[in-house]
Structure 1
Amino acid sequence: MRFKMLVLCSALMTVWGSATANQPNVYGVSEKASLPDLNLEVPAKLDTGAVTASLSAQNIKLFKRDGEDWVRFQLAVEGEQQGKELELPVVRISKIKRRAADVPEGESKDYTSRPVIEMAVCLGGKEQDVEINLTDRTSFSYPFLIGSTALQQFDAMVDPSLEYSAGSPSCTT
């Protein structure tokens, strides 16, 4: 009898442990994100309706280096990193569907092309390498947007009733 109880308890603990291990990380609609490669912490909007992540940048220029595509840009974020010029390899060029409000009158272009870079992003205590497109987000409330592809990498669930629930990023490299 004791053996059966021990087996039953062990089985229940295993099932409960695996069920809790598969729980997503719950984040708020806005969180603090760290970009360790840039020594930068920024407020980020977690947007399940966007596919890719976007970082605010200006003076974005594509160029070739040793036959490879690179991008030169200035960070468009508040703080001491504002205007810092960076050069990074381009992973790919992304085509982003434009909202009707973003298309100037007389222009029929439905998509805009953006260079995509890859870098580490830290949310809470979890770090992932994420593809990030570069665009001028200075007219938006958040300089960094994290879309659904990156949210899947973070095994994230976004609770719109929460903000900054993960606290300051605490990833160690």
Structure 2
Amino acid sequence: MRLKPFLLPLCLLLLPGLSGAAEKTVYGLNEYAQLHNLGLRVPAKLDTGAKTASLSARNIDRFKRNNEPWVRFYLAIDEAHSHPIERPLARISKIKRRAGDYDPEEEKTYTARPVIELDICMGQALRTIEVNLTDRSAFQYPLLIGSEALKRFSALVDPSLKYAAGQPGCTPDATPGE
């Protein structure tokens, strides 16, 4: 009986956390993502254990345009993507290598990857996220969405679900939200 007076303050303390959860969108372990800038829909893996997002790309070439750094690449998704894509280079990311990827002769524990910004639509949400470019053709999902991008989507990931958000529903003239 002594616990009852403590229940009301405890519930009041929990309310701010519950209201934050109400503003989140539940996504599954896998979702369809529209690469809004490119007019392409791809399956994505949502990975809360990865910090960054990665897009499958090949023949990645950095160059200068008007004295600004740019990157040219081909999507490494299937043979249908034979035209190059060019985007401004946002930055270079240092991705920690896994034990199996480490080459002692190279003496580097990281891989440098170019990073670009892309507008991605999942469900009804359109967000601009940073993605690093790397060849993911050996993986099932050409797009991996890590925790930094998931924050931008206000995402809660339920690993028991797949494609919970359904098909991307952003209109062609939509602008990315926060």
TM-score category, normalised to shorter length: 0.7 to 0.9
The corresponding residue for 1:84 is 83
**For structure 1, which segment, 111-120 or 96-105, has the greater mean C-alpha deviation from structure 2 after superposition?**
96-105
Shift of 1:21: 7.9
Give distance in 1, aligned partners of 2:104 and 2:140: 25
Relative distance call for 1:170 and 1:100 in structure 2 (3 A) is same
1:130 maps to a residue whose letter is I
State percent identity of aligned pairs: 56
Q: Give the Cα separation in 1 of the matches to 2:152 and 2:22.
A: 14
* Cα displacement (A) at 1:20: 7.8
TM-score by length of 1: 0.84
Can you list the C-alpha shifts for 1:28-74, whole angstroms capped at 9, x where unaligned?
A: 01000001110110000000011111100000011111111000111
Gap change, CA 1:20 and 1:47, over 3 Å in 2? closer
- Judged with a 3 Å threshold, the aligned counterparts in structure 2 of structure 1 residues 21 and 104 are, in CA distance, closer, same or farther, namely closer
2 CA distance for matches of 1:47 and 1:152? 12
2:27 corresponds in structure 1 to: 27
Q: Helix, strand or coil for the counterpart of 2:33?
A: strand
1:160 aligned counterpart, secondary structure: strand
1:143 aligns with 2:142: yes
Q: Aligned partners of 1:91, 1:20: CA distance in 2, in Å?
A: 31
Report the count of equivalent residues: 156
Q: Secondary structure in 1 aligned to 2:19?
A: helix
Task: Quote the residue 2:54 is aligned against.
Answer: 54
**Residues 42 and 144, structure 1, Cα contact 8 Å, conserved in 2:** yes
Unaligned runs of 5+ in 1: 1-14
Alpha-carbon shift at residue 105 of structure 1 (Å): 5.9
SS in 2 for 1:55: strand
Contact 1:62 1:69 in 2 (8 A): yes
RMSD over aligned CA atoms reads 1.8
Secondary structure at 2:139 match in 1: coil
Name the CA distance, whole Å, in 2 between partners of 1:163 and 1:79: 26
1:102 Cα deviation after fit: 1.7
